[in-house]
Structure 1
Amino acid sequence: MAELAAWDSFYVIVGSAAGALIGLQFVVMTLVAARPLPRSAEVGATFATPTVIHFGTALLLSALLRVPWPSIISAAALWGLIGLCGVAYAVVVTRRMRRQDVYQPEFEDWLFHAMLPLAAYTILAISAFETPFRTREALFGVGAATLLLLFIGIHNAWDSTSYQVFSSKRDTKE
């Protein structure tokens, strides 16, 4: 399909990065599992699991946009569904952030764990609805949402890893 052909390299790069970062996230989680923080399951569901979901979504979108669809509308229907599911998931994560009491989220946490994912998934859903009317712009919306999810995942993976490292160092000094 001509509309997606120009995006080939973009999705190869983003998909490869997302796949590699998912693997790296599993390695990091395995390493920090030796010294889990108290009630880390609650914090993991709130902060770590969404990171893997965002990486997975970027990987899924990269794969879906390389499928030889008979029509762009078929692809748009799928990425729209992914966007709507992502909006619902962002709401769930926000509720978890409010309910958990292990860690007091700061503005940066709200930005990268609640607001930006909600924005990315909303852009994805809106792009699906705009595809029949503004295909080129819709594809840029999907690309922006996918890249935003990748960068959110990178930030959140780094943030959670550094939190684990510094919390672990603080615990050993006591």
Structure 2
Amino acid sequence: MKLPRSIAGWTIAVFGVLALVMGAVGLLWPEAQLRMLGFEVPATRSVGDHTGTFLLASSMAAFNMGVYYLLATVTEWRAFYRFTVVFRLVTFTVFAIAVLADIAPDRFFGVAAWEGLGAVATAIGLRLDARRGIPAGGVGSSEGAGTTAVAEEGTGPTGAAPADAVR
């Protein structure tokens, strides 16, 4: 895997690796995950208790999210970086309210703090990258990740004229 090429990329990569690892922990050792989050782990679960099912689903989502974040890092997908800042701040707010409203245990505030601090770190990284002259589309790109070099002006990557240029 290629290393991140920007400060913001490093913040996204760190979050991606941790999401991947924590998702794997939840899938492989769910009791440890629950204990880390401050939830009780009873010896047996009562009928109708779907904690395991919910943990399986959220752990798989975290694992997948880790993969998405790492893919965004490899492609230096800066629009994704900006998107995560907003939604990680929303996540911080929701999780913090859950703790304050006694819906979640106090230790769960660590998850909220992680989201909030991660959002702030990525926002700062984006700002510092902009000051360093890294274009909004990413390192070495004038328009963003996933763009393809054009063979010559007015033609697509294969050298053919774009469909909208055909008259």
Bucket of the pairwise TM-score, normalised by the shorter protein: 0.3 to 0.5
Bigger Cα Rg: 2
Higher relative contact order (Cα pairs below 8 Å, separated by 6+ residues): 1
